[in-house]
Structure 1
Amino acid sequence: MTTKQRAWAWHRQGLDGSQLGAAAATVIANTGWLRSVGGANPYLSLFARAGLRREQVDAEVARLAVHELPVVRGCTYVVSAEDFSWALQLGREAAEVPVRVLTKLGVSRTEIDELLTAVVEQLQPGEKLDPQQLKQVLGAAVRSLGEEGKKKGASTTLPAALGILQSEGRIRRVPLNGRLDQQRYAYQYWGLAQSGLSDQQARSKIIAKYLHWTGGATIKQSQWFTAFTVAQIKTALLELKAEESGGLWMLPGDRESYESFKVPDQQQIQLLAGSDGLALLRRNAPDLLAEQDRGKSLLGEKSLALVADLPDHPIVDRGQIVGLWQYDPGRAEIVPWIFGQATTAIKQRIAQVQDYIRQDLTDFRSFSLDSPASRQKRIDALRAAQSG
């Protein structure tokens, strides 16, 4: 990617200050759904774009202005309320995959449907139960699948049933303590209205949003994000009257906007999560590196130019990755590795994000099983690289 292409993606992601002060739902609608895997990415993404504190985000989660849902590819993203029903529609095929596993284990569709009904009956308005509580109240309706089931990742029939009910909007999963970065959940009755869209209309809708969020993407990148077939994507592009330019498909008018776009003169520094939409939506982190930095690596790993997903979190200036970082909770500090000069702007932003993590998050986990111990080796390597 060129400097201008990186800065354009940065702009469309709202990392240039254009979203400052906006509500979380507005930021997500404008710049993209936020990948959530039990880590802190949603919080830092919203802090970077809008300056939102954790309590502000949690308040929007509590009032259902935003919610974590299984959507494209069945993956969980934090989504704004305007997208709930049709976004869930995109994940329904993925929700059926565990059911096919149950079928191979001798579980009939009738038994699954009976379990779905039983779960909804237990979660009538006002009830909120975690998986263990649900197993207890459902009793024999939940079947244990023994050692064979464990080998196939299905120890009981309950998780598959909960997945189907979530994808249909009949129940929703809620964080027990209201936080998005700690994976302990309960389930509530929801009864979300259906979107009224056909599957193709839903596919066209997400492709339109995706091209807006990214400022343009290849068919392969669109396919990675959505898991749609090439034919489905091409149908959506045709319906949207998308325009192709240099291998990237853009919404009508975006090519003209891109051509008139000017790269900002001053540094715009952000510390982002490795799963931030800037790189994750197109899964193109290597494209965000300057040529002289593409060969860099730590711990004898492949160079950064050869990995689809970054080993650490990026420090970014107008769309270009200028360093990596991790948070060391033992010392309550960010450990950065700056590829070039540690400018005043970089130092100031590191200090701001460090204070934010200390005050709002305590630690910065990448995903649910991330821990200080599991990342200590990387923290040490970053510290050594910076001092060297």
Structure 2
Amino acid sequence: MARSSTTPPVLKLSLERVRAHWHRKQGLAEPLRMSVEEVVAATGWLRTLGGVDAYLAARARVPGLKRRQLDEAVEQSRLQVVPAVRGCIYVVPRPEVPLVLRIAEEQHRKKADREYEKAGIDPKELADVGEAVLKVLRKGPLSTDALRKALPEGTVRALGDKGKKVGISSTLPPALRHLEFEGKLERSQEGGRVDTERYLWRLPAKNPFTGAKVPAEPVERHARIAAIFFRQAGPTTLESFTTWAALSQREARAAMEKLPLVPVAVEGIEGELWVMEEELAVLREPVPTSESLAMLAFEDSYLAFHGGPALFTDPKHHARRVPVWGNTKGGTLGEVRFLFARPLLEGDRLVGFWEYDVDARAVVFGTFDKLAPKRRKAVEALAEDTAAFLRDDVGRAHSFSLDSDDTLRERAALVKAM
């Protein structure tokens, strides 16, 4: 962003051209010939919600991926499950972990210090609990409950009503969080699987900060995280970056000023989009139409990076009512940001939804428009492959830890009614 935000766009592009660029960068136009950790680094960290969608997001970009491939990458610390931007838990490439932990710690402390004061937690008390935790974990990984029981009596203090008011039950959770931010312990998945929110805490083979060069100044850290985001998502807007990174516009602009970002104009999108200068040459070249098909994960980066499904859907379908995640705004394809449905792509377009039918033990799908017979057969083949993966390899299809067979049935019914 060496240029001023008032500088005219250096390139004017159609939405179709930009969408094709996003699609190719995300490894959805054709498979990326990389290891799973390299794919995650190139296309975006995997959100973990205690369900199977981290596997689905990776498999959409690595066709034929087996569950064990992702689990092994985490078990071997080529990928790591860590708190990241917005306090959310992601699967992150190991080289990026030190930066990500510092960003997460910075955002965590904005409210944690106030909460600790209200709960009556003293920093020295957390340090003492932390030392006791590290001593116990020398014997091997433990869950939070097992760790609490293994600690000497009196180590952990219940915080009573003061703690309840800020959502902290005892001194153990904040002590674990601080140790994680310092790289002194790390999460491993109970059962060795990514699709869980039940963690074991273990001592790392090597502290990720050893030899790592993480900037001391927040603006420099923000610039590093901005570089990761714009290489995965660009061209995209300032708002998309602030939403993803949980930074203020002032913080985001300061970070972007340190990068070789240039503004481009895209028809149908108000305001500027920003892209790394190195990508301009690619954007000026024509790109072949992709005929790939993809069954994406819930909250897949391809849509989430750019404000939801609107830019990926034919405008004639924008008034269509769709399920919305949580209490977020919107209710139509044209306005919703967080879609509570699994997307079906034909080429770079969102053309429908899919879901796993737990009773039929099969994937069902529905499209906004009728597919040509040949394309429908191709989608049916993809559905069979995806169903086999969920049924025979993963063993379930829940999107998040509180998801259930009944909610899967509800979502499948909506898809079948299309």
Pairwise same-fold verdict (TM > 0.5): yes
- SS in structure 2 at match of 1:369: coil
Aligned with 2:368 (options 334, 339, 343): 339
SS in 2 for 1:253: helix
1:111 shift after superposition? 1.6
Q: 2:170 aligns with which of 156, 173, 177?
A: 156
Asked if 2 retains the 8 angstrom alpha-carbon contact of 1:73 and 1:227, the reply is yes
Q: What amino acid is the match of 1:378? A: R
- Taking structure 1 as reference, are residues 261 and 115 closer, same or farther at Cα in structure 2, changes over 3 Å only? farther
Stretches of structure 2 that go unaligned for 5 or more consecutive residues are 1-13, 266-271, 325-329
Matched-pair contact (CA < 8 Å) for 1:298–1:381: no
Query: In the TM superposition, what whole-angstrom CA distance separates every residue of 1:131-163 from its partner, at most 9, and x where no partner exists?
Result: 111111223221112244334321222112212
Q: Which amino acid aligns with 2:359?
A: G
Name the residue aligned to 1:192.
208
Matching of residues 1-388 of structure 1 within 5 Å: 2-20=15-33, 22-51=34-63, 52-96=65-109, 97-124=111-138, 126-138=139-151, 139-190=153-204, 191-194=207-210, 195-198=212-215, 199-246=218-265, 247-264=272-289, 266-298=290-322, 302-342=331-371, 343=375, 344-385=377-418
Q: Equivalent residue of 2:403, what SS?
A: coil
Q: Secondary structure at the match of 2:242?
A: helix
Q: Structure 1: which amino acid aligns with 2:333?
A: L
Amino acid at match of 2:349: Q
Call closer, same or farther: CA 1:12–1:196 in 2, change over 3 Å: same
**Cα distance change, pair 48–299 in 1 and its aligned pair in 2 (3 A):** closer
Q: Are 1:222 and 1:282, in contact at CA under 8 Å, matched by a contact in 2?
A: no
Deviation at 1:173, TM superposition (A): 0.9
Check conservation: 1:28, 1:34, Cα contact below 8 A.
Answer: yes
Give the conservation status (yes or no) of the 8 Å contact 2:323–2:339. no
Further displaced range: 333-342 or 127-136: 333-342
1:95 touches 1:164 (CA, 8 Å); kept in 2? no
Opposite residue 278 of structure 2, the aligned amino acid is: G
Paired residue secondary structure (1:141): coil
TM-score, structure 1 normalization: 0.92
Q: Partners in 1 of 2:219 and 2:322 — Cα distance?
A: 44
Please give the secondary structure, in 1, of the residue aligned with 2:386.
helix
- Give the superposition deviation at 1:46: 1.6
Measure, in 1, the Cα distance between the counterparts of 2:286 and 2:203.
47
CA distance in 1, matches of 2:135, 2:229: 37
Q: Give the residue type in structure 1 aligned to 2:236.
A: A
Q: 1:251-278 CA deviation, whole Å, 9 max, x = no partner?
A: 01213311214142x5211000122111
**Which runs of 4 or more aligned residues in structure 1 lie more than 4 Å from their structure 2 counterparts after TM superposition?**
298-301
- The residue matched to 1:154 in structure 2 has which SS? coil
Task: Tell me, in whole angstroms, the C-alpha distance in 2 between the residues paired with 1:330 and 1:184.
Answer: 27
Q: Distance in 1 between matches of 2:385 and 2:76?
A: 28
Please report how far the alpha carbon of residue 347 of structure 1 lies from its aligned counterpart in structure 2 after TM superposition.
2.3
Decide whether aligned partners of structure 1 residues 99 and 116 sit closer, same or farther in structure 2, where only a CA change above 3 A counts.
Answer: farther
Cα deviation 1:42-86 (Å, max 9, x = unaligned) = 211221111221111112112111111111122111111221212
Shift of 1:335: 2.1
- Deviation, 1:299, is 7.4
TM-score where L is the length of structure 2: 0.86
Work out the number of aligned pairs and report it.
382
Query: How far is 1:298 from its partner?
Result: 5.0
* Aligned partners of 1:17 and 1:50 also within 8 Å: no
1:243–1:252 contact (8 Å) kept in structure 2: yes
Report the identity percentage: 26
Residues 274 and 309, structure 1, Cα contact 8 Å, conserved in 2: no
Matched position secondary structure for 1:306: coil
Alpha-carbon distance in structure 2 between the residues aligned to 1:17 and 1:42: 19
Mapped to 1, the partners of 2:415 and 2:258 lie a distance apart of: 47
Tell me the secondary structure at the aligned position of residue 30 of structure 1: helix
Q: Tell me, yes or no, if the aligned pair for 1:99 and 1:160 is still in contact at 8 Å.
A: no
Answer whether contact 1:103 1:109 (CA < 8 A) is retained. Answer: no
